[in-house]
């Protein structure tokens, strides 16, 4: 018998033993199907919650942008009536809510002293609605007050801009007491 034969046999047995222990380690440290299903479920819940919050934030931003745009038009109409000292109701700057998705703005945009053709604003693309009954007109006299067609000072209720993320209120009556450069207050609430 060759002296190296037992060494080869021992080496071969050691190699078999290390392979067996390696197989045992990889099987005991691997993932079972149940582990993978639980991890996938948790990940899908977290991802769906995150996507829901992103969509909600986008719709809230659309609503807020539409409310800010409406507020800006209110401010421009009021400032236009003050600047031109309009006393004839036909020449007073105005915003007319035509439907739940649209309104028109009539101001002197080119500065010639005469009300220009109304600009139509369609809010359907922004997926928001005006929550007030239409038609409704907000008109401003030369002092910046809201008036009706007979020049009677009125207290206009708030204008609501809504979508599925909440409601933004634009308080029209408060603007008659503010300065011409102050922005309109827009308050938001989440459903």
Interval 159-172: pLDDT, tens: 888 888 888 888 88
CA neighbor of 166 nearest in space, from 97, 67, 79: 67
Interval 108-130: pLDDT, tens: 988 888 889 999 998 877 788 88
Q: Which residues face 169 on adjacent strands?
A: 160, 187
Residue 183: predicted pLDDT = 40
Which residues of the chain, if any, have pLDDT below 50?
25-27, 178-185
Q: How many CB atoms lie within 10 A of CB 177?
A: 9
Residue 13: predicted pLDDT = 59
Residue 168: predicted pLDDT = 85
**DSSP string for residues in 138-176:** EEE-TTS-EE-TT--B--PPPEEEEETTEEEEE-SGGGG
CA distance 122 to 102: 4
Residue 181: predicted pLDDT = 33
Residue 159: predicted pLDDT = 84
CA neighbor of 80 nearest in space, from 120, 112, 123, 122: 112
**DSSP string for residues in 79-113:** HHHHHHT--SGGGS-EEEE-SSSEEEEE--SSSSS
């Amino acid at each position: 018998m060759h002296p190296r034969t037992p060494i080869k046999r021992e080496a071969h047995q050691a190699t078999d033993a290390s392979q067996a222990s390696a197989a045992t380690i990889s099987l005991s440290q691997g993932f079972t199907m149940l582990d993978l299903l639980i991890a996938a479920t948790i990940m899908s819940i977290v991802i769906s919650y995150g996507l829901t919050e992103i969509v909600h934030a986008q719709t809230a931003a659309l609503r807020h942008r539409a409310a800010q745009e409406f507020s800006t038009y209110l401010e421009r109409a009021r400032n236009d009536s003050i600047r031109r000292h309009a006393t004839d109701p036909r020449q007073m700057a105005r915003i007319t809510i035509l439907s739940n998705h649209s309104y028109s703005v009539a101001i002197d945009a080119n500065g010639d002293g005469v009300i220009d053709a109304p600009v139509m604003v369609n809010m359907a693309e922004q997926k928001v609605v005006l929550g007030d009954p239409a038609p409704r007109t907000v008109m401003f006299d030369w002092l910046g007050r809201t008036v009706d067609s007979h020049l009677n000072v009125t207290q206009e209720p708030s204008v609501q801009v809504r979508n599925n993320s909440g409601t933004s209120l634009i308080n029209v009556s408060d603007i008659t007491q503010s300065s011409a450069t102050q922005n309109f207050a827009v308050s938001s609430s989440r459903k």
